[in-house]
Amino acid sequence: MNSEQELLVELKKGSSKAFESLYKQQFRMVASLVGKMGGNQEDIEDIFQETLFVLVKKIRKPAFVLTAKISTLMHAIARNLWLKRNQKDSKEINVDDNDIFDMDFADEAESSGYQEKELLIGIVLDNINALDEDCRKVIKLTFLKKMSHADVAKELGYSLSFIKVKKFRCLAYLRKMINRSPFLSNKNL
């Protein structure tokens, strides 16, 4: 990948090559940062994965604009994740300067209703996989990869208007299938 923009596009798609490229380019920086703050090898690996997760979630948001180098964003995210992880022991640390980055990854595992969430995820993914191939692709690219209609149209070789209609129809199928799910009828999900 030659430029940051190209890397950004590939990261948005969740391309494994892009992830690998970031490991090779930025792991050392995160290792040095977390290492300096007292983290061990396991912490470093965890923080790096979480950093990638938060980064990709950020860049998939429609309003995201790249205003700094990807390495700078990763540095800020990794630092915040580490501080957040250790905040109980480091109450004096001020993280305000970087609070633009949500800490969704770390928070999630701690949140309640974990099993219910896992059940819902399982039902959604099973039903997506039961859709016909075209619908499956449209739903995955639109809702799981968070790609824009224009990018989905380009990726699948259809017109923009076709994709908009297709997305709505596929979502209607998925809705129908999920709402019929016996597991959901008695659960407050």
Partner 1 sequence: MSNENTYIQIHRFLKGEMDKDEQLAFEKEMGENEILKNDTLMENRLLNGLNLAADKELKNDIGEVHQNLKTQGFFKDGTSDAKIININRRNNFKRIIAIAASIIIIAAAWWAINQQDGQHAAIDSEELFANNYKPENQELKNIIGNVGFIDEDDSKEYKLKEALQQYENGEFTSSLKSLTALNEEFPNDSEIELYLALSHIETNNHQAAIDLFRPLSIADFDLQEDAKWYLGLLLIKEMEDMEETKDLFFSLSQDNSSKYNERASNILQELQVKK
Quote the crossing angle between the two packed helices 16-36 and 41-59, to the nearest 10°.
130
What's the number of CA atoms in the CB half-sphere (13 Å) around residue 153?
Answer: 12
Computed from CA positions of residues 154, 160, 164, 166, in that sequence, does the dihedral angle turn out positive or negative?
Answer: negative
CA–CA separation, 142 and 149 (whole Å): 7
Nearer to partner 1, 28 or 154 (CB): 28
128 makes contact with partner 1 (CB under 8 A): yes
Among 6, 64, 69, 94, binds partner 1 (CB under 8 A): 69
Q: Which of residues 130-169 bind partner 1 (CB under 8 A)?
A: 139, 143-146, 168
Q: Please report whether residue 94 would count as binding partner 1 according to CB under 8 A.
A: no
The residue among 123 and 153 lying less far from partner 1, judged by its C-beta, is 123
**Structure-block tokens of residue 58:** 């950020």
Tell me the site size for partner 1, rule CB under 8 A: 49
Residue 72 binds partner 1, judged by CB under 8 A: yes
Question: Where does this chain touch partner 1 (CB under 8 A) — which range of 70-78, 85-93, 130-138, 154-162?
Answer: 70-78
Give the ranges where 86-113 is alpha helix by DSSP (H): 104-110
DSSP 112: S
Q: How far is CA 36 from CA 66, 101, 102, 163, in A?
A: 27, 21, 23, 49
Burial group, residue 36, by CB count within 10 angstroms (0-12, 13-18, 19+): exposed
| Cβ contact 56:12 at 8 Å | yes
| 145 within 8 A of 13, measured Cβ to Cβ | yes
Examine residue 174 and tell whether it contacts partner 1 (CB under 8 A): yes
Interface with partner 1 in residues 10-39 (CB under 8 A): 14, 16, 19-20, 23-24, 27-28, 31-32
Does residue 121 interact with partner 1 by CB under 8 A? yes
Q: Which residues bind partner 1 (CB under 8 A)?
A: 14, 16, 19-20, 23-24, 27-28, 31-32, 41, 45, 48-49, 52-53, 56-57, 65, 67-69, 71-72, 75, 104-105, 108, 117, 120-121, 123-125, 128, 139, 143-146, 168, 171-172, 174-175, 178-179, 184, 189
